[in-house]
């Protein structure tokens, strides 16, 4: 005869005892051996991180159980983001809990399992705007304040002069031509440059090194201009593939010849325009190319068009409809329409008169164009300002010019379009300007570079 007895064990758990004349069996239910601890809470880490748009953040989930044990359950929970346009988060094996940030804003990251959940808030912020100025001895780096003024970072510079510096579209990497190669950097959270490994890759044709670099809008390729001897046409353009870590893949591929100085690429990444200067008579030309999916260049038809004497800079408008070239010794800014197949056609008029034009830039909305003018070496230069008409022709603003440092060889328009800066070669300085709604420039100040000489190129994060 069995008799069933109910008792409470320590902690209030239920024990069922079955008694008989032959056997005493004791079954413990959640009261000792054979029991399973239950999940009571989930903690998500890190708590309230703030990262830059475009970067990733790994979250972890830690479960606390009824037996006072904690364990990592990152791979077991279900991850969600409350604001997917700001950041998404992975539930894929091997990357569970990895958030990919997409745009500035905030979102709540949640981890859920077995009726329990934990959260953390994620703030996604703009990458700080930073300007980089290359001269013959160093690359100086400055934060851009809300009023447009430049302020040195820590460190204020990295050693190694450069002839040209450009930043990728994500603001994550910088590339600068120097000597016989291209320097490559990562850009830290505060905008400071750190050399990659290797710090430089070779970009040499014969005994000549590179003078300028430009990045394909798609972020997969970098093109480097290596000039040859004047009139010899023994230089060329090198194409580097850009790896997933931002490094230039070496060796590069030679994709064009000639005597290139600067390269312009339309914003859609379909066409390249190369200023070749100069042959023995001093005349220059523009070589037109189409860009294939793999980054190779194919000559357009016609391939070569005249570009005056001493072509110095090439820029397209943001819509990819027009192209402008400074012909320094011709005292002209040449203006072209970009037609079918990328073919250039001179506008009417074909040029705008500018004394000794050097650097050139178009604002992000395609409304205004600015040209640095080298009035006389070691004397103050100026910046000429133009509006861009619907057909692409330039019309001088009023006032037409504003003073700058000596020999403004390169111009940067800050990504928001509110500020402009010139790299002044002859006095190693930076001129700072505010851009009004009507395109006119007003001086903010002048920054003298702390070391080296010959400011030659300026670029900024986006």
Domain ranges of the chain: 1-35, 39-125, 130-460
The overall average pLDDT reported for the chain is 89
pLDDT at 78 exceeding the cut of 60: yes
| Separation between Cα atoms, residue 103 and residue 258, nearest integer Å | 42
Query: What digits encode the pLDDT tens for the residues 363-406?
Result: 999 999 999 988 665 578 899 999 999 999 999 999 999 999 99
SS3 category, 341? helix
- For residue 118, pLDDT beyond 50: yes
- Burial of 30-54, coded b for 16+ CB within 10 Å and e otherwise, reads ebeeeeeeebeebbbeeeebebbbb
Q: State residue 376's pLDDT score.
A: 60
Are the CB atoms for 424 and 404 separated by under 8 Å?
yes
pLDDT the model gives residue 311: 85
What is the rounded distance in angstroms from the CA atom of residue 251 to the CA atom of residue 279? Answer: 29
Res. 181: pLDDT tops 50: yes
Answer whether 412's CB lies under 8 Å from 462's CB: no
Contacts of 348 by beta carbon, 8 Å cutoff, 6+ apart: 393
Distance of CA 221 to the CA centre of its chain: 13
What is residue 379's predicted lDDT score, i.e. its pLDDT?
Answer: 72
Q: What is the pLDDT confidence band of residue 259, given thresholds at 50, 70 and 90? A: confident
Mean pLDDT (whole number) for 196-201: 96
Kindly tell me if the per-residue pLDDT of 417 is higher than 80. Answer: yes
**pLDDT at residue 21, as a whole number:** 39
| pLDDT at residue 328 greater than cutoff 60 | yes
Higher pLDDT, 303 or 266: 266
Phi-psi label, residue 199: left if phi above 0, alpha if psi -120 to 50, beta otherwise: alpha
Give the least confident one: 10-24, 44-58, 216-230.
10-24
Other beta carbons less than 10 A from residue 231's beta carbon = 12
Q: What is the pLDDT of residue 55?
A: 83
d(CA 165, CA 410): 11
Beta bridge partners of 141: 132
pLDDT of res. 234: 83
Instruction: Give me 193's structure tokens.
Output: 């440059």
H helix intervals, 16-89: none
Q: Which CATH superfamily is domain 130-460 in?
A: YVTN repeat-like/Quinoprotein amine dehydrogenase (2.130.10.10)
| DSSP E strands, 191-343 | 193-202, 212-215, 221-226, 236-242, 248-256, 260-265, 271-276, 283-291, 297-309, 311-316, 322-327, 332-338
Global pTM value:
0.78
Q: What is the pLDDT of residues 278-311, one digit of tens each?
A: 654 567 889 999 999 999 999 998 888 888 888 8
Q: Does 116 score more than 70 pLDDT? A: yes
The C-alpha atoms of residue 398 and residue 164 are separated, in whole angstroms, by: 32
The mean pLDDT of 55-84, rounded to a whole number, is: 96
| CB 315 within 8 Å of CB 362 | yes
Provide the CATH number for the domain formed by 39-125 in this structure: 2.60.40.1080
In the chain, DSSP finds a helix count (H) and a strand count (E) of 0, 41
């Amino acid at each position: 005869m069995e008799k069933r007895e109910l008792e409470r064990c320590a902690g209030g758990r239920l024990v069922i005892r079955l008694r008989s004349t032959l056997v005493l069996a004791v079954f413990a239910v959640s009261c000792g051996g054979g029991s399973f601890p239950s999940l009571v809470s989930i903690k998500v880490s890190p708590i309230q991180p703030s990262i830059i748009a475009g970067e990733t953040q790994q979250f972890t989930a830690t479960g606390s159980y009824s037996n006072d044990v904690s364990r990592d359950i990152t791979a077991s929970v279900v991850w969600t983001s409350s604001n997917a346009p700001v950041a998404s988060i992975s539930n894929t094996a091997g990357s569970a809990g990895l958030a990919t940030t997409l745009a500035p804003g905030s979102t709540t990251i949640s981890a859920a399992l077995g009726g329990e959940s934990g959260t953390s808030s994620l703030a996604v912020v703009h990458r700080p705007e930073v300007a980089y100025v290359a001269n013959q001895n160093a690359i100086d780096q400055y934060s851009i304040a809300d009023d447009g003024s430049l302020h040195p970072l820590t460190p204020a510079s990295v050693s190694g002069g450069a002839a040209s510096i450009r930043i990728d579209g994500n603001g994550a990497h910088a590339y600068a031509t120097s000597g016989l190669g291209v320097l490559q950097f990562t850009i830290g959270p505060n905008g400071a440059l750190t050399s990659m490994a290797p710090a430089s890759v070779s970009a040499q044709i014969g005994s000549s090194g590179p003078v300028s670099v430009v990045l394909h809008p798609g972020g997969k390729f970098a093109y480097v201009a290596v000039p040859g001897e004047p009139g010899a046409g023994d230089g060329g353009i090198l194409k580097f593939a850009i790896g997933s870590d931002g490094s230039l893949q070496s060796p590069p591929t030679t994709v064009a010849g000639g005597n290139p100085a600067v390269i312009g690429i339309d914003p859609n990444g379909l066409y390249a325009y190369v200023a070749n200067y100069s042959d023995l008579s001093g005349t220059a030309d523009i070589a037109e190319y189409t860009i294939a999916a793999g980054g190779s260049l194919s000559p357009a038809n016609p391939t070569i068009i005249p570009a005056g004497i001493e072509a110095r800079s090439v820029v397209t408008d943001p819509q990819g409809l027009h192209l402008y070239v400074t012909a320094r010794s011709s005292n002209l800014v040449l203006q072209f329409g970009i037609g079918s197949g990328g073919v250039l056609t001179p506008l009417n008029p074909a040029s705008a008169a500018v004394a000794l034009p050097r650097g050139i830039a178009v604002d992000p909305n395609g409304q205004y164009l600015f040209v640095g003018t080298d009035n006389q070496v070691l004397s103050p230069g100026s910046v000429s300002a133009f509006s861009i008409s619907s057909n692409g022709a330039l019309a001088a603003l009023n006032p037409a010019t504003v003073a700058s440092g000596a020999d403004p060889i390169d111009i940067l328009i800050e990504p928001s379009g509110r500020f402009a800066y010139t790299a002044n070669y002859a006095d190693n300085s930076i001129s700072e300007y505010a851009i009004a709604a009507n395109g006119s420039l007003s001086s903010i100040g002048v920054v003298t570079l702390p070391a080296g000489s010959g400011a030659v190129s300026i670029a900024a994060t986006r």
